[in-house]
Structure 1
């Protein structure tokens, strides 16, 4: 059994679904830790309520992105973290973590990549007028939402959709599948 880190920046709904799978012995890990880049976010509350070790690193408290990630790296090494899974972590990962965790950092993104990369994917999906959206789980590399795709799930887009409605339906599917894909990655059958 291994240890994993979940990186989050906000509400933590995907983090909650991963915690639920962990608490129900469905996740193939010994331990989960949370790494947050904002204070007082819901993901931290979820971690505290579930007695999950969590760490908060605020970029402005460091002299550079390199020193920020070097500090995170120290914690990951102390906690013997094997994989990093991003769950609403709204910050680009730099070479410090990318090199140390080569091919072991994964992200979940609310579109069918390679379409609609970046932070406004749902709004762009709706303004483009496509009838299908969904989410993608992919390797993280130095480019935004450009790593090798591991898993995708489609979600229908309706004419009366708002960003909130579409996001809700996408997140329902994310919560159902992210922890299952984490298990596949841990078992080594992500292809």
Structure 2
């Protein structure tokens, strides 16, 4: 089972996953990090684990369709079975969805369907909600609208600043996402085996 991780930024979730794959706590192998920001810190994290890195932008490719086609060629070249989004800030388009239907998962820092899209933690905090959360879901053509795999609430305390809330949401992400991936990949592998 070879997975690709897509990321755009700092890569804290990426590194936690990479460590667990490296220690055989999660079945499979990270075959590729794809990053759409050539200067993102996640690239250095991947290099530390000797994970192949590919990075390019939509602009370099001349548009979204060509960008996705180039990603697809990468996924085929590296023989990727499953895609994990870890802070990837672009919507997955129809080319990749058609080829990886039911094989792409995302981590979202809100209790979906609340606060889909960007700046979810900030929006929940600004709305003075009593709680927000973390969601792991399959990716479909909508915005954070795919089938939910797991969710946890994160309380918003009266004493919270945005920074302390973000820290607790990220702590929840760092625990929940690897746990879900660890349980999900063997199920997917067994399903693939049964279909052969």
Distance 2:162 2:90 in 1: 21
For residues 19-48 of structure 1, the C-alpha deviation after alignment (integer angstroms, 9 at most, x for no partner) is 110121101013342100001211100001
Name 1:3's counterpart in structure 2: 2
Distance 1:15 1:32 in 2: 13
Q: CA RMSD in A?
A: 1.2
Name 1:94's counterpart in structure 2: 93
Distance 2:152 2:41 in 1: 26
Name 2:13's counterpart in structure 1: 14
Equivalent residue pairs, number? 188
Name 1:174's counterpart in structure 2: 173
Name 2:81's counterpart in structure 1: 82
Distance 1:129 1:140 in 2: 28
Asked whether 1:42 is paired with 2:41, we answer: yes
Contact 1:57 / 1:72 at 8 angstroms: preserved in 2? no
Distance 1:183 1:162 in 2: 32
Name 2:194's counterpart in structure 1: none
For residues 133-177 of structure 1, the C-alpha deviation after alignment (integer angstroms, 9 at most, x for no partner) is 120001111111111100111211112322221111111111112
Contact 2:5 / 2:30 at 8 angstroms: preserved in 1? no
Contact 2:18 / 2:30 at 8 angstroms: preserved in 1? no
Q: Following TM superposition, by how much is the alpha carbon of 1:184 offset from its aligned partner in structure 2, in angstroms?
A: 1.7
Asked whether 1:69 is paired with 2:64, we answer: no
Q: Secondary structure at the match of 1:188?
A: helix
Contact 1:107 / 1:139 at 8 angstroms: preserved in 2? yes
Distance 1:49 1:63 in 2: 31
